[in-house]
A = this chain, B = another copy of it.
Amino acid sequence: MRSVVVGGGAWGAGFATVLRACDHDVSVATRQTIDDAPYEDADLIAVAVPSRAFRDALTHLRGQAPVLILTKGLDPVSGDRLSTLVRDRPVAVLSGPNMAEEIEDWLPAATVVASEDEALAASLQQAINSPLFRVYVNSDLIGVELCGAAKNVIALACGAVDGLGLGDNAKAALITRGLVEMARLGEACGAEPETFAGLAGLGDLVVTCWHPSGRNRRAGELIAQGMTPDEAVAEIGHVVEGLTTAPVLRDLAHRLKVEMPITEGVCAVLSGTPIHELAASLMVRPPVQE
């Protein structure tokens, strides 16, 4: 099988490793080489560019091969799920607890492939599954995409808990409420609740919020310790998807009239609200039913 991975970042490189383990003939296209890749010969094009570059990247592809979306985010222009931008070819999404550096170290992982085209999802599962990279099929494309976008925003908040030194009990409570607000958005968008309890939901959320080198968690930590978002990105040296996604997700929640208090809090801090004020206000709310 011939595959092109579009995107020169850590996950693009990690996923190329996954494909080579399945005996794919893999070429990687970066921003500089995106127009020169052998798309016409490819059986699969995996796209792992940042969400803000996704719309443009599609305009460079040629041929008819299916696109497998590795990017986790929403289209910042329209607020839509990224798969809705792919109109000229079959499309699927891959998402799950897949920290790139562990994949490159050949540590085991599990993931989900979702598509409205069941035959495509099943064929991708066969093409990508290996003993160290377990691929499960999920038919809920909407839910899988929303999970991948929203979990980075919750991870910013969890990083802030780390940065403020509030401890793991508080972080666990925040993850729990974070998954509740993710699932509430999903329900409004027609997603399946089970997806949020699965690998692309809970699974990816916990690793993103807890793994020490997760970029979104780390950015939240640095911002809580006093950096601006731009300074945090400069320190991390990579794209931090949650910073792009947070306002897009909040606007989507407003349009659908879904309450997402953690996402609102993240956006408030990114817009300059002092984080200590926000944390203090959350502590004095009256207790209620869970």
| A175 on interface, CB distance cutoff 8 Å | yes
Please tell me if the beta carbons of B198 and A108 are within 8 angstroms of each other in the complex.
Answer: no
Report chain B residues within 8 Å CB of A135: 287
Report chain B residues within 8 Å CB of A77: none
A: contact size bracket: 35 or more
Please tell me if the beta carbons of B289 and A109 are within 8 angstroms of each other in the complex.
Answer: no
Decide yes or no: A102 and B206 within 8 Å by CB, A176-B199, A197-B180 being known contacts. no
| A171 on interface, CB distance cutoff 8 Å | yes
A192-219 vs B: 1/0 string, CB under 8 Å? 0000011100111011001100000000
Report chain B residues within 8 Å CB of A125: 287
Please tell me if the beta carbons of A168 and B136 are within 8 angstroms of each other in the complex.
Answer: no
Decide yes or no: A206 and B206 within 8 Å by CB, A180-B197, A289-B137 being known contacts. yes
A98-125 vs B: 1/0 string, CB under 8 Å? 1100110101111010000000000001
- Copy total for this chain: 2
CB-contact partner of A172 in B132, B134, B197, B206, under 8 A: B206
Cα(A236)–Cα(B39), bound, Å: 57
Decide yes or no: A172 and B204 within 8 Å by CB, A137-B289, A179-B197, A180-B197 being known contacts. yes
Please tell me if the beta carbons of A102 and B287 are within 8 angstroms of each other in the complex.
Answer: no
Report chain B residues within 8 Å CB of A204: 172
Report chain B residues within 8 Å CB of A287: 125, 129, 134-137
Please tell me if the beta carbons of A169 and B97 are within 8 angstroms of each other in the complex.
Answer: yes
Cα(A131)–Cα(B168), bound, Å: 17
Report chain B residues within 8 Å CB of A203: 172-173, 175-176
Decide yes or no: A169 and B131 within 8 Å by CB, A180-B197, A197-B176 being known contacts. no
Report chain B residues within 8 Å CB of A165: 107
Report chain B residues within 8 Å CB of A96: 173
Chain A residues at the B interface, C-beta cutoff of 8 Å: 96-99, 102-103, 105, 107-110, 112, 125, 129, 131-132, 134-139, 165-173, 175-176, 179-180, 183, 197-199, 202-204, 206-207, 210-211, 283-284, 287-290
